Amino acid sequence: MYTPKFILICVSSLLFSASYNMLIPELPSYLSSMGGAKYIGLIIALFTLTAGISRPFSGKLTDTIGRKPVMLFGAMVCLICGCFYPILTTVYGFLLLRLFHGFSTGFTPTATSTFVSDVVPRERLGEAMGIQGIAFSTGLALGPALGSFIKLYFSYSVLFYSSSMVALLSLVLMMNLKETLPKKEQFRFALLKITRKDIIAWEALPPAIITFLAYIGFGVILTLIPDWSEAVGFVNKGIFFIVFTVSSLLVRFIAGKFSDSYGRIKVIVVGLLLLLTSLFLIGYLNTKSGLMTGAAMYGLAMGVVSPALNAWTIDLSLPEQKGKAMATMYIALEAGIGLGALCSGWYYQETISRIPLIMYSCSGLAFVGIGYILTVKRNIITNI
């Protein structure tokens, strides 16, 4: 399984994740400094809006022109956006750039997951998704911590240009990958015509629904944790993301193997139980140690759920439409993140006392996810 292709895609995934996540902790204060505090919820919501809209296109293109061009396009968007943040210094310019920046995650992760499924043995797919998730999550942890460090000692402009440089490194690694789609087509604008049948892979709907419910909480985390961290006494707003990701890394490898051995659904249920508990604790334990406890458990939860959902999506997909299936799952992911960010930002309004109730609500949605997956379990026919 550990071929040069697989290792290269994992390292590239780490850098890609770090490039845009390193901005997350500092964007709320950056937007507020421009007079846009009331638009904080749009920082994530606009990003995920275009990411979600672009998923049907990225899925179709991944299955037609190839995995590599789709990955490269997303990384190029990250590189360009990092250069433009210091230039577009108005609130509306910033929001427009966030809207465009979302195309990065709308394209690259869809093709990356499909690429991984092409280059690893089928019987080790869960394990492979777990390891690729480790790489992506490492970027998720290192990015915010590095971003906060750069802003603390330098400036916003240095932070934005650093984001572009990391995206460039990811791009260079992607360029050294060999295409894995056997019969690829040349790009033509007709491929951008999307019909209803191109949007959703109905066979992948069950994992997509669970993904939606699970990632609403992630949208809330991205939007509110910087302020919640500051409220409980942390200077570096990226500490939560470090603890969350380290915890996630520790469990992903094992969880991926377990989903290969014991089935995706059993592993997902365990992950959802951890998720509802962690979100409740994040809201209830409003101290430094309490927040870190919640962060650690949240990392365990997402480390268990994420690779199993990715592998389950591939299990249910049609062989020639794996990109479409992954795009369906990612549409649900982006919808969940965007809805969580938008609603929490709208309700929050810089009132710290409202954060616990928001976290409790997300915990309840994880419980709904458990009920759903147990209800439909007997109707799902797979070979796992």
In sequence order, which residues have a C-beta less than 8 Å from that of residue 314 and are 6 or more positions away? 113, 117, 125, 129, 322, 325, 326
Q: Considering the entire predicted model, what is its pTM?
A: 0.74
8 A C-beta contact, residue 302 and residue 190: no
**What CATH number labels 4-178+197-379?**
1.20.1250.20
Looking at residue 381, its pLDDT comes to 43
In sequence order, which residues have a C-beta less than 8 Å from that of residue 236 and are 6 or more positions away? 145, 148, 149, 152
Looking at residue 279, its pLDDT comes to 94
> Given the structure tokens 């869809």, which residue do they identify?
110
Which residue type does 60 have? K
Looking at residue 384, its pLDDT comes to 41
CA distance 371 to 365: 10
CA distance 14 to 112: 11
CA distance 324 to 59: 4
Selection from 120, 119, 122 nearest residue 179 by Cα: 119
Domain ranges of the chain: 4-178+197-379
Kindly give the parts of the chain with pLDDT less than 70.
377-384
Looking at residue 382, its pLDDT comes to 44
Selection from 253, 271, 259, 254 nearest residue 217 by Cα: 271
Looking at residue 209, its pLDDT comes to 93
Q: Which two tokens stand for residue 122?
A: 């089928």
Looking at residue 377, its pLDDT comes to 65
